[in-house]
Every structure is written in C-alpha cells, then in structure tokens.
Chains A and B, each alone.
Chain A
C-alpha cells in the first residue's frame, strides 16, 4: 500500500466501519475491519477513536463478554452527519483523482 492515509480519510473509514453495526463494535473488531481497506499500524486506531469520541461523533459503552469487559463504540447522530459529509467529499475527490490518473492518462 503506497498511499498514506490522511486523518480525515481515516476518520471517515472508522466512522463508516462503526456505523455498519447498529449497536456499535469494539476496538479490536474495528481495527481488523479498517485494516481490510487500508494498511495502518494497529496503534493508530486508538488516537482516532479517542478523538472521534471527544468530538462526540462516537459514543462508548461497556459490556461484559466472556467474563471480561469490552468497550463498544457506537456512532452518534453527529457522527452520522459527519460521515455523510465525508462521503460526499470523497466522491468529489476520488472523481477528480480518477480523472487525472486514469481517464486523462490512458
């Protein structure tokens, strides 16, 4: 994976992954899912999750599972709105990049 991911794109991907589950998911799962799309270091995720939480795009709650505690992250309505914004931006952006890299070059 050659292209590095900026913080906004990372936020968008994390929000999208979390929004897939109505009840949210937990950190480990989120990391695995995100890494299906982009190559990032596992240590990158926590700061992102933390920041999204502080910005009130994500909520957290704890749930017991298999005798130990699990912290779940859930998308908020603000997070949902932010995600929609990101999606629109990404459509525009990827379209322009595609135009230059793919369409114009061939």
Chain B
C-alpha cells in the first residue's frame, strides 16, 4: 500500500462523517506523510496500520466522545485500563461506560455500543455536529407537535364528552325546574287577563314539567356520584401510565 492508497481508503471509510471532520482528518494525515518525508512513507504506513482501523477510531471518537475513559490501542492487544479517569462524568455514567469500554475498544470497525439509551442520547448530542443535532431535534419536535396536540386534544375531548353526558341530566333538570318556576310565577299575572281555567291549566303543566325536571336532577346527581370517583381514578391511572412510559423510554 502506498500513501495515496492509504488516504483514499481513509476517505472512503470516513464517508459517513461530516465533511469538515473528514477533511480535517485527511489533512492531518497528509501533513503527517509530508513531515515524515517520502523516504519514510512505508514505515509510516506500517506504523499507522490499516486505514480501516484508523477510520474506525476516528468514527468512534466522533460518535462517542462521552465514552472516553477508553483505551489507547496498541497493536490490537487486549485493553487493560491502568488509569481510572475521575472526570466530570457522573458516577453512574462512568461505571457503565468503563464496563462497556473494554468491549467497545477491542471490537473492530464501529465498535459495539453497550451503553444504555440515556448514555447513547447523551453521547449522540455530545458528538460532532452538536448544534445541528440539537436543531434537528427541535425541528422534529415542532413537526410532531400538531400530532402530539391532536392526540392530547382527542383524549381531552373524550373526557369532556363523557363528563358532559354525565352532567347532562343534572343540567337539564335544573334548567327545567328554573324555567317552570319562572313561568309559574309569571302566569297568575297573565291569568288575570286569561281567566282562571287557563291559569290552572298552565300551572298544572308547569308542575308536571317541574316533576320531570326533578327526576332529571335526581338522575344526574346519582350518575355523578356513581361515576365521578371512577373517572377520577381512571384519569389518575392514565397519567401514571404516561409518566411510566416516558421514564422507560
């Protein structure tokens, strides 16, 4: 393999990283070859090792910057950490990171990620192109917002509908009673003009309607008493379920 083959292979292997990162890496190695001089080209290539391995290390470093109480590779020997990194990393993160480190660095190519999801998320956002990734996340959130709002709206609508159905009889009852009382009071005054039989008729009808109103009221109160606790419990259950699933994500 010669210098150009090495650089070409490296460029190929770094296709997936950002152009800036790729260019910087290539520039570094181009300069490195220049410094070593053409007479040392073979030695350098031998020392650098396989371009795939080099690319893998670079990709890993770009992707998993959080991971770094990782290990320097030395000719594919198994990694034994001599140095514990007491860094700003939180205790929990450090523990799981150092457990996964040995395997992460001894595997080839991209390396296995045995980190848990929150670490992945953190690592994802700490890697290269941090700003872009954050922007993407925000854009995604905005795009999904109508959908989320729809879902919430639907759920709220269901609850409101059911509450309305339950409250309905009560409302009907109260309005009926209120209306009839009003009429009953007003009628005698009108009746002075219309005649006693007319008054009695209307009063009678009003009493019947008031009776219906009372029935509705009683039904409404009964429904409320029966279903309110149930709805309250169910709503609390839903909220708890949502909370749990968000935690488990």
- Our verdict on whether A and B bind, yes or no, reads yes
> Is A61 in contact with chain B by the CB < 8 A criterion?
no
Query: A25 to B75, alpha carbons, bound, how many Å?
Result: 26
Interface size class of A (residues with CB under 8 A): 20 to 34
* Interface contact B68-A7, CB-CB below 8 Å: yes
Question: Which residues of the partner chain B approach A7 to less than 8 Å between Cβ atoms?
Answer: 68-72, 83, 85
CB within 8 Å of A: which residues of B? Answer: 24-25, 27-29, 31-32, 34-36, 44, 47-49, 53-54, 57-58, 60-62, 65, 68-75, 77, 79-87, 128
Is chain A's binding surface mostly helix, strand, loop or mixed? Answer: helix
A44 touching B28 by the CB < 8 A rule? Answer: no
B28 touches A47 (CB 8 A): no
* Segment 45-59 of A: residues with Cβ below 8 Å from B: 46-51, 54
Q: Is A95 an interface residue (CB 8 A)?
A: no
The chain B residue sitting closest to A60, CB to CB, is: B24
Which of the residues B28, B58, B65, B82 comes within 8 Å of A27, measured between beta carbons? B28
By the criterion CB–CB under 8 Å, are B82 and A6 in contact?
Answer: yes
Are B83 and A68 in contact, with the CB atoms below 8 A?
no
Q: Tell me, in angstroms, the Cα distance from A54 to B28 when the chains sit together.
A: 15
Q: Which of B47, B68, B80, B83 has the most CB of A within 10 A?
A: B83
Query: CA–CA, A31 to B36, complex, Å?
Result: 11
> Is the pair A43, B87 in contact by a Cβ cutoff of 8 Å?
no
Q: Are B75 and A41 in contact (CB under 8 A)?
A: yes
Residues of B within 8 A of A47 (CB): 57-58, 60-61
**Contact: A51 with B61, CB < 8 Å?**
yes
